[in-house]
Amino acid sequence: MDNPVRQSADSQDSGILVPQIAQSFRQLPISLIVNLAIGLILAAVLWNAVPTPVLLTWSGLLIAVTGARFLTLQAFRNAAPRSESDLASWTKYFLAGACAAGVVWGLSGMLLFDPGSFPHQVVLAFVLGGMMAGAVPLLSPVSHAYWCFAIPIVVPISIRMMWMGDRIHLVMGLMMVIFGLAMLATSVQVQRLFRDSEKLRRELFSVIEVEQALEYLVRLDSLTGIPNRRLFEEELSKEWARTKRNHAPFSLIMADIDHFKEYNDHYGHPAGDLCLVEVAQAMHHALSRPGDVVARIGGEEFAFLLPQTDLSGAISVAEQIRERILALNLPHEASPVASHVTLSFGVSSSELTSVSSAGELIRTSDIALYEAKRCGRNQIVAARKTASVVVA
């Protein structure tokens, strides 16, 4: 039976390496151009040293493989894969391209090797070594890609060198083997570096997400799920500054559930909590604009922030909310106002001459709410220019 812990680790590593496939595809154009350019330069250098049909055949193979990899790159860009499963399906194409390129360059170590010209042999060995070194950052992130590219290159040229039999060629062949092994070891280290970097990036991203979630949660009321007083104060300060800057109206509604203490005494605190939740959610869904905010700022007290809303508009919003709460038809037998839950509202606006600060906006709304309670509750009272109040 497979070890579930091992399976989970393998799945995680696969998910970590998938972004590197996309990164490798993005870096592929430069590699293709360099591969083709170096191949053509090598062919030009060896033009008189290698039989023309052999040289043309090898050059044609290089061009064909490079063209196929370019078409694969274009298909990848057009597909624009986003999910891990889609990206993973492109790994085989990337690996196939790397293997094909490795085989073509490996063939150059056999077909383009000129036994009679030591300088040409050195040039060929230098080019192949450079190809292996240059491919490390591009191919290492994708598992097995570099090995698939490098081994077909290093083996033929090493064998061809050693096949010559003399000491200098034996040393050169051995050096190619050592260099190839060093490049493979470097590739493993680079792959580990990419993997660790991606793990770190994901862990950091996860931590940031958790912090953002916690930061969001501390601004929500744990009972009702709507914003709490902390968020209310932050949004009030921000919207007030925007209002002063843009000279736009900004209104505040303070609301209170009528005789909520009597509700708790009559029905019990668990029922009172359910009542708060239903009222709060009804208020939340009553707001239609993204910038509008309702927050629970006390036990049964709520506040509405209405940016770019004048006093008359805020009164209309308050009336819609009052009617929505009435439509809930939550029984309240202990209320002297009505047989169901009702709310009182106090409305104020930045338009008022008496309102010169966010604190004044709160104060005038509180005064209006107090007046609504004094006048019998279940009604809306709006502050006026002289800071007096009137029943709306």
| Pairing of the two strands 343-349 and 380-383 | parallel
Amino acid (1-letter code) at residue 261: K
Instruction: Give the C-alpha distances (Å, rounded to integers) separating 203 from 177, 208, 243, 387.
Output: 39, 9, 40, 54
CA 171 from chain center: how many Å?
Answer: 52
Task: Please give the structure tokens belonging to residue 360.
Answer: 């004044």
16 neighbors 87 (Cβ within 8 angstroms)? no
Question: CA-to-CA distance for 181 and 178, rounded, in angstroms?
Answer: 5
| Pairing of the two strands 250-257 and 380-383 | unpaired
Cβ neighbours, 10 Å, residue 49: 17
Q: What kind and span of H or E run contains 302? A: strand 301-307
HSE, CB side, 13 Å, CA atoms: give it for residue 324. 16
Helix ranges, the chain (H): 4-45, 52-79, 84-89, 91-111, 118-134, 136-139, 145-163, 167-217, 229-246, 260-267, 269-286, 311-328, 358-374
Task: Please give the structure tokens belonging to residue 144.
Answer: 């097995």
Residues designated catalytic: 300
87 neighbors 22 (Cβ within 8 angstroms)? yes
236 neighbors 250 (Cβ within 8 angstroms)? no
Question: CA-to-CA distance for 162 and 176, rounded, in angstroms?
Answer: 10
The DSSP code for 349 is E
Q: How many residues belong to the chain?
A: 392
